[in-house]
Amino acid sequence: MYETIDPHGSKAPGYARPAPDHDLWSPSDPRYTGHWAPYVRDLRPGPDGKPHMTEPYTVNQHTSELFADHAVKFLRSHATSNDDPFFMFVSFNAPHDPRQAPQSFIDLYPPAAMPLPPAYAAQHPFDNGDLTIRDEKLAPAIRTPEAIRVHRSEYYAIITHLDQQIGRVLNALEESGQADNTYIVFTSDHGLAVGNHGLLGKQNPYDHSIRMPFTIVGPGIAADHRRAEKIYMQSAFPTTLEIAGLPVPDSVEFPSLKQTLLHDQPFAGEAVIFGGYMENQRYVRTDEFKLIRYPNHHRIQLFNIRTDPHELDDLSSRPDHADIITSLTQTLRRLQKEKGDGILTSSR
């Protein structure tokens, strides 16, 4: 059993690093909690019917391994025992911070060899409303190249470790004999900036954070087929319901993708993606442009996504783009009204 030396989840040693006077924290040291969470291996009902601990805390196991263990156990006990349909939802916590992984995975990504991200910046150009949130405190406020390389090394390490655990789950599905009769949906939370635009977290409207993966494989779905249409992730819900042969509630506002996936029927997708974060950020994104408004800070940004996919060139101050800003602002306000969003989007 390891001694836990930060019972509050790496809040002190895992933040504002690396720094010359503060680099005690190690992503592979299981004494630092977070993903290295102590857990009870065996809980069985006691005489009163309630679980009781039958053994003490064991060696701290990484959450990705723990979740994969339970997923594999479920598949071995349910998918192979009968022909009844099953549904399994595995919500891995990785690669959420703290970005921890076994040392063998850390060693795959030496910080000195890590490239900086395309939109690397030492600081965000202005206050976006959340520059002091937890995610942004993981590294010193001035994002030096050395610090970003360390964080991206640890980010890639925890992702690679997660990939291995997902592989274990997929292998168990193959072993069950149900792989060819099962639909697998892979998606995620918003992505982390980890150095892009001077940010570390996901509380921003740039494409590196708002674009999420959506992959689905299964019977009748063509392999290696990509679609470029824009969707909201909420379409995963009606899609999985229809594939399972279940009715979609009338309250669901997002379209199912079943007919497109299984029968290659035309699907227009969303003409405009509308989103925001708290009261600080609102945006609309088309295939060509993205307009971002920061209501509390009277700032706007405009990017041509087609020609500037990393959003490096803010076009909002250029007179020849004034009409585009006006049109997208009208679209933004229309969607805000439709969704009942009362946050003002005034000009700077």
SS3 content of the chain, % helix, strand, coil (to 5): 30, 15, 55
pLDDT in tens, 177-192: 999 999 999 999 888 9
pLDDT in the model for residue 2: 47
Angle between helices 63-74 and 145-176 (to 10 degrees): 10
pLDDT in the model for residue 44: 57
- Given a contact cutoff of 8 angstroms between Cβ atoms, the answer to whether 35 and 62 are in contact is yes
Helix (H, G, I), strand (E, B) or coil at 274: strand
Q: What is the DSSP string of 66-105?
A: HHHHHHHHHIIIIITT-SS---------TTSSS----HHH
The answer to whether residue 219 scores a pLDDT higher than 60 is yes
The answer to whether residue 54 scores a pLDDT higher than 50 is no
- Return mean pLDDT, the chain: 88
In sequence order, the β-bridge partners of residue 291 are 284, 302
Picking from 139, 126, 142, the residue whose alpha carbon sits closest to that of residue 194 is 139
pLDDT in tens, 277-310: 998 999 999 999 999 999 988 899 999 999 999 9
What the block records as the tokens of 90 is 């595995």
Helix (H, G, I), strand (E, B) or coil at 151: helix
Domains of the chain in start order, with CATH, are: 1-213 (3.40.720.10), 272-348 (3.30.1120.10)
The answer to whether residue 15 scores a pLDDT higher than 80 is yes
Place of tokens 């890639």: 156
